[in-house]
Structure 1
Amino acid sequence: MPERVPDRVPDRMPGRGRPPSVAGKVMAILDAFALGGVRLNLSEICRRAGLPLATGHRLVGELVAGGFLERVPDGTYRIGTRLWRIGSQAPAVTGLRELALPHMEDLYEATHDNVQLAVLRDGRALFVERLRGTRSVPTVTQVGNTLPLHTTGVGKVLLAYAPEDVREEILAAGLPRHAARTITDPGELRRCLEQVRRNGFALTRDEMTTGAASAAAPVRDGRGAVVAALSLVSRTRSADMRRLLPPLATAARALSRDVAVHWRGGSGGEPGPRPDDLPSDERKVSP
């Protein structure tokens, strides 16, 4: 079953409370799927987009015909392959994924656990790549979808190194429970993030998915700014962090070196990563 996510109504233009143009209406429909991993029926799409049912029906039909949305046999809709192909060409996806894949493959061969790469986007962890083996623990992660920062290993790393105003915004918004051991107390999460910064890695057990544990480490550019997080996800019962952490740390350091070279973020006064190569939230992240 697809992951269910909280309803989120996109920001609307002032005035009548609905997108004033066809382009605005189409963007509102696509934004209904922005949290990723979602299948929505027509009524849900229209409610999130703030559109009348008749208008939504017509525009969704056109998006399906164009390949931007797909209609599932159960009558729901999901992001189409054409939109995915366009989005996958974004520099923040292609550049980082191409650099990371060799290291992720080596990490998988060393551990045979799920390997994931995520960046900070709109206050959530956006997964840009993942490797999963036949023996790996099932996860809710999908490339292109997002998960909460406070429940995931990569999310804790990204949140720990995010600017203070970003952390405070996440803490103030509330920390919903997703599994038995999800941290929902802001004070406890603050202490956890301090420990992440002190240790240089994050650990989770049964916080996003019952039965899954993760270890995550930061990926830095040449100036030391955290631009992504790399993680291993294993079964809680069999997870041995003493086994997972050394290869994870090695892969994260190796990827950081490649990022520094690729984005010319090294020492000697060279410029840092090109702003257009990084999502807006990544540009804010500091060591």
Structure 2
Amino acid sequence: MANSPSGETLTERIVRVLETFDTDRTVQTASEIGRRARLPSSTAHRMVAELVECGLLERDEDQRVRLGMRLWELALRGSRALRLRQAALPFMERVQARVREHTQLAVVENGETLFVERLSHPKAGANITRVAGRLPLHASSSGLVLLAYGPEDLRERVLAGPLEAVSPETVTDPARLRRDLVRIRREGVVVAPGSVEGVSTGVAVPVRERPDHVMAALSVVLPRDAPTGTAIEELRAAAAGITAAYGAQRP
């Protein structure tokens, strides 16, 4: 792709445009996109028009812009996340029916925890995570599982900091976090009260693609003082089921 005067490729600028959308900002004007993507106004308007024309963005009746259905369609074709969700959903539904709170599935993406599915009971407690939402790896039960079982270089990058505090109880001391990760690998479970919200406890287990590789974390979010034993049992059984179902999908 041709470079801009700043040295950026067209692909890099397109990614910047798409990254201005998030779970809280789903609709914008072209001018807002340009400002957030740090692009000249004329460049932003031209790029938005081209992306709308090819279906990656869409305009509503007020000429505001949102992510296009074609982008969603392309993202799902052959997606590893889609395969994982298809394998996981029946087992997540069983956990959800028995725990009746929030049940979540997360993976590592670009050094963060990316939540690819969430099921919630209407009367479930607080939970800030959303599908396609992200959190730092050290700041949730799911992320701690992924960090504990992830590559050594990923752990070292995270431990080098800075470690952001999502709540007052998020572990931000590298030495303590390192000890916690050793314990997680030994016990195969995370129980993290208050790491994201003070009123909640996250409980998570690894989901393995094969014995030596963890591909995801399966978690529930419980009220702060709720017992965790049943949730841990349900999560471990579900994780084993997901591993078997994911493997059975392979051609």
TM-score range for the pair, normalised by the shorter chain length: 0.7 to 0.9
**CA separation of 1:107 and 1:241: change in aligned 2, threshold 3 A:** same
Shift of 1:171: 1.7
Find out whether 1:242 has 2:229 as its counterpart.
yes
**Aligned pairs (5 A) from 1:152-163:** 152-163=140-151
Shift of 1:57: 2.9
**Aligned pairs (5 A) from 1:64-213:** 64=52, 68-69=56-57, 79-213=67-201
How many matched pairs? 248
**CA separation of 1:47 and 1:192: change in aligned 2, threshold 3 A:** farther
- Superposition CA RMSD, Å: 2.8
Shift of 1:195: 1.2
Mapped to 2, the partners of 1:105 and 1:229 lie a distance apart of: 15
Aligned residue type for 2:166: H
**Do the aligned partners of 1:97 and 1:129 also contact (CA within 8 Å) in 2?**
yes
SS at match of 1:219: strand
Shift of 1:44: 6.0
The alignment-based identity, stated in percent, is 37
SS at match of 1:150: helix
**CA separation of 1:198 and 1:78: change in aligned 2, threshold 3 A:** farther
Mapped to 2, the partners of 1:177 and 1:75 lie a distance apart of: 38
Taking structure 2 as the reference length, the TM-score comes to: 0.85
**Do the aligned partners of 1:18 and 1:51 also contact (CA within 8 Å) in 2?**
no
SS at match of 1:174: coil
SS at match of 1:230: strand
Q: Which residue of 2 aligns with 1:7?
A: none
Find out whether 1:257 has 2:232 as its counterpart.
no
Q: Residues 8-58 of structure 1: CA distance to partner in whole angstroms, max 9, x if unpaired? A: xxxxx988435344x54323311344xx42426756643553411221133
Unmatched runs of 5 consecutive residues or more in structure 2: none
Mapped to 2, the partners of 1:156 and 1:43 lie a distance apart of: 38
Taking structure 1 as the reference length, the TM-score comes to: 0.75
Shift of 1:254: 1.8
**Do the aligned partners of 1:68 and 1:79 also contact (CA within 8 Å) in 2?**
yes
Q: After alignment, is 166-175 or 151-160 more displaced?
A: 166-175
Unmatched runs of 5 consecutive residues or more in structure 1: 1-12, 265-287
Find out whether 1:221 has 2:234 as its counterpart.
no
Q: Which residue of 2 aligns with 1:283?
A: none
Mapped to 2, the partners of 1:76 and 1:192 lie a distance apart of: 46
Mapped to 1, the partners of 2:4 and 2:63 lie a distance apart of: 33
Q: Which residue of 1 aligns with 2:14?
A: 26
Mapped to 2, the partners of 1:196 and 1:14 lie a distance apart of: 45
Q: Which runs of 4+ in 1 moved over 4 A?
A: 40-44, 64-67, 70-78
**CA separation of 1:76 and 1:231: change in aligned 2, threshold 3 A:** farther
More strand by share: 2
**Do the aligned partners of 1:222 and 1:257 also contact (CA within 8 Å) in 2?**
no
**CA separation of 1:98 and 1:121: change in aligned 2, threshold 3 A:** same
SS at match of 2:210: coil
Q: Residues 235-283 of structure 1: CA distance to partner in whole angstroms, max 9, x if unpaired? A: 224x21123111111111221222344348xxxxxxxxxxxxxxxxxxx
